[in-house]
A = this chain, B = another copy of it.
Amino acid sequence: NNSLYLFLNTFMFILSFIFCSRLFHSHSTADPQFTEKYFPQIMDHFNFLSLINATFSQRYLITDQYWRKGSGPIFFYTGNEGDIWEFALNSGFITELAAKQGALVIFAEHRYYGKSLPFGKDSFSLPQISLLTVEQALADYAVMITELKQQLAASACPVIVFGGSYGGMLSVYMRLKYPNIVAGALAASAPILSTAGLGDSRQFFHDVTADFENCAPQCRDAVRNAFHQLKELAERQDYSVIQSKFALCKPPSSAQDIHQLNGLLRNAFTVIAMLDYPYSTHFMGSMPANPVKVACQTMLSGPDLLTNLRNTAGILYNSTGMLSCFDLYSLYVECADPTGCGLGFDSMAWDYQINLCYESNNLTDMFPPMSFTEADRDSYCAKRWSVMPRPDWLRIQFWGDALSAASNIIFSNGDLDPWANGGVRRSISPSLVAINITGGAHHLDLRGSNEADPESVLVARKTEADLIAKWNPLEPQH
C-alpha cells in the first residue's frame, strides 16, 4: 500500500544518510594528488555466460606520491555507496598513514555508484540491477587488486584494505574471503553483526537516544514529549497547527504525511548523533561542532517543545537558514543531497542493497514507534524490486559472529556512534582487534587529523598504524 511505500522511502532515506558518508563528510576542494582512472571490470563474476557486455568501466583513484615503489604497501579503500571522490577526500587518515608508511593509495568505486554503472543509466532496471551484490563488489576489488599489482610491478607489496561503515564491512569481508590478496583490514564503524541480523533490532535507536540522554536527561525527555505532542495533534487532525509548528510547505493531510514527518524528524537525531564530531563539518551547509550538544541546547531553548523540535531538525535540514519551509516529500524522494545523490542513482542502488530491520518503539528509545519487520521488508522488496531477501545469507556467506578463523582485522568504533554496537566491540584474538574511541562518532578515525581531535582518536590511529605496519611482511618488526 502507499503508506508502506512512503514509509519505506522515509526509511531508505534515513539509511542513505546513515551509511552515505559522503553526505556528511566535509567537502574540500578536489585533491590533485589522486589520478582518476577506469578499470575494465568483469560484469558478472559468478556466471561465465557473458560474452556480450562482458566488462564495464569501474572508476578508481590512485596516487603513488608516497609510495616506495615495488616495496611499500598498497592501501586500498573498498568503496561503498557513493561517489568515490567523496570517500577519497574525506578519509585523510589513509593518506597521512601512506605518507608515513610509503604506501600506494587506491580508492575503488563500488559498482552501481558514482560513475561505475555497469549498464549506464539503465543499471537500475530489472534485471540489470541484479548484478549489484556484495559478492560481485568484493570480486571486483579482488580482480582489480590482482591486475593492478601486475601492471604496477607491485606483486610483492602487501595490500591493506580500509573502509568506513558499509565500506568497512566490505573491508572485513575482503580479509575473510580473500586473505590471499589482502594482508589485513581496517574496518571503521562497520556494523557487521547488526546488518547480519545478529543483535537487537532496538539497539540502534536506543543508542541514538543515549547520546542525547548522556548530554542531558532533560534533552531526551524533551524530545519524547515533543513527539508526544505531535502525536496528539495528529490524532486530533490539527493539521494546520502541525504545518505551522514544523514550517511545512503544505499542511499534512493524512496519517501517511504524519508518518513521513516522524521519519524526517527521527532521522535528524540519528544523523546528528552519528555526526557528533568535535569540530564543524560540512553537510547540507554546515553542521556545528558537537552537534548533539547544540541539538540539546535547542531542544531546551524555550517553552514550546514543537518549535524546539523543528529548530533541532533544522540543524540538519536547514543549516543555512535558506529554506523558508520544509517540503517533506521533496526532501525524502529526491534524497535532498545538494551534491545530487548521484543524480538519484546512488539512492536507488542503496535502496536495492540495504537490508535492515531496526525499530523505534518509544520504550527503549525516545522516538515514535516505527518498525520495519522482516515481513515489511519481504513485501517491499518483492513489490519494488521483484526480489526476495534471504535473512540468513550474510551470516552464512560472511561468517556472522563466527570470526575466530580470521586474522588481521581491526574493528574500530566510536562510542557516540549508534552503529558501534552493531559491530565487533571486543577483541577476538591478538589479530582481531576491537578499538573503542571514547567520544568518537561515525568512523572519526578515518578522517584527517584535526586540532580538536580527542586524545582517544589519536591513540586509536596510533594503534591502527602499528598493527598495519606489523601486517607488512616486508617491514622490519619492532
Contact assessment for B402 and A130 in the assembled complex, using a CB-CB cutoff below 8 Å: no
Contact assessment for A51 and B388 in the assembled complex, using a CB-CB cutoff below 8 Å: yes
Interchain CA distance A46-B407 in the complex, whole Å:
26
Contact assessment for A179 and B146 in the assembled complex, using a CB-CB cutoff below 8 Å: no
Q: Is A244 an interface residue, CB under 8 A from the partner? A: no
**Interface-facing stretch out of A15-23, A27-35, A134-142:** A134-142
Interchain CA distance A381-B49 in the complex, whole Å:
10
Q: Is A455 an interface residue, CB under 8 A from the partner? A: no
Determine how close the nearest CB of chain B comes to the CB of A356; give it in whole angstroms.
Answer: 16
Q: Is A218 an interface residue, CB under 8 A from the partner? A: no
A49's contact among B51, B387, B395, B403, by CB below 8 Å, is which?
B387
Instruction: Determine chain A's interface SS by DSSP, over half rule.
Output: loop
Contact assessment for A396 and B178 in the assembled complex, using a CB-CB cutoff below 8 Å: yes
Known contacts A146-B392, A177-B177, A396-B142; A386/B135 CB under 8 A: no
A372-397 toward B: CB 8 Å interface, digit per residue (1/0)? 00000000011001111110110111
Interchain CA distance A388-B178 in the complex, whole Å:
23
Contact assessment for B407 and A405 in the assembled complex, using a CB-CB cutoff below 8 Å: yes
Q: Tell me the residues in window 390-424 of chain A with beta carbons closer than 8 Å to chain B beta carbons.
A: 390, 392-393, 395-397, 399-400, 402-403, 405-407
Q: Is A47 an interface residue, CB under 8 A from the partner? A: yes
For chain A, which range describes its interface: under 10, 10 to 19, 20 to 34, or 35 or more residues? Answer: 35 or more
Q: Copies per complex? A: 2
Known contacts A146-B392, A396-B142, A397-B139; A47/B133 CB under 8 A: yes
Determine how close the nearest CB of chain B comes to the CB of A39; give it in whole angstroms.
Answer: 14
Closest to A46 in B: B46
Determine how close the nearest CB of chain B comes to the CB of A205; give it in whole angstroms.
Answer: 27
- Residues of chain B with a CB closer than 8 A to A126's CB: 49
Q: Is A50 an interface residue, CB under 8 A from the partner? A: yes
Contact assessment for A396 and B133 in the assembled complex, using a CB-CB cutoff below 8 Å: no
Interchain CA distance A130-B181 in the complex, whole Å:
27
Interchain CA distance A42-B126 in the complex, whole Å:
20
A388's contact among B54, B135, B387, by CB below 8 Å, is which?
B54
- Residues of chain B with a CB closer than 8 A to A130's CB: 47-49
Contact assessment for A51 and B397 in the assembled complex, using a CB-CB cutoff below 8 Å: no
27 CB-based A-B contacts, threshold 8 Å: A45-B393, A45-B397, A46-B47, A46-B133, A46-B135, A46-B136, A47-B131, A47-B133, A48-B130, A48-B133, A48-B389, A48-B390, A49-B126, A50-B387, A50-B388, A51-B387, A135-B135, A139-B397, A142-B396, A146-B392, A177-B177, A178-B399, A179-B399, A179-B406, A180-B395, A180-B402, A181-B396
